[in-house]
Amino acid sequence: MAPTITVGDSIPSGTFSYIAYAPELEDASACGIPTKLSTDEWKGKKVVLFSVPGAFTPTCHVNHLPPYLQKYDEFKAKGVDVIAVIAANDAFVMSGWARAVGLKDKIVALSDPEAKWSKSIGLDKDLSAIGFGTRTDRYAIILDDLKVKYVAVEPGSGVSVSGADAVLAAL
């Protein structure tokens, strides 16, 4: 699916839920309390968003998310204020995934329930055929003061144009 948002566009307003990192969450029995994050909070910031169809799924868990964490310092050196991973999973699952891979406060794990925000930019995906329902597509967006500077959607099931290396090269 081609995105309905393109380079130069301003992103639509949206609200995600997430559980902010706190040291108490190092205890696997802690759940945390979901809170809201509005895209409006990114005004004046350089933001890298990348989206995965599902937390803990093979490609997302092994090939997509880890390079962003490994190259965190490179993103910061290029002036990135916020790195966020988006999926249609709920905030508790996203928090569990963030803890499992050690994101701490480096990458924000945002829940886009039913891929509502992703759908608003043409980047949702119907995975009902495999029992997943509506999910976010696999994509990456670079924002500068809420304006799209880069948007890329994976053409297949791999990670290339939405991966950390491609996004770093586009910064």
Q: What is the pLDDT of residue 125?
A: 84
31 is known as an active-site residue: no
Phi, psi of 152 (to 5 degrees): -145, 135
Structure tokens belonging to residue 4: 């309905």
Structure tokens belonging to residue 122: 């043409």
Tell me the residue type at 9: D
Residue with tokens 């968003």: 49
pTM, full prediction: 0.92
**What is the average pLDDT across 48-54?**
93
pLDDT band at 131 (very low <50, low <70, confident <90, very high): low
| Own/partner pairs, 67-70, CB within 8 angstroms, 24+ separation | 67/163, 67/164, 67/165, 68/107, 68/164, 69/101, 69/102, 69/103, 69/106, 69/107, 70/164
Among 11, 60, 108, 161, the active-site one is 60
Domains in the chain (CATH in brackets) are 15-23+31-170 (3.40.30.10)
Percent of the chain surpassing pLDDT 70:
95
Q: What is the pLDDT of residue 167?
A: 98
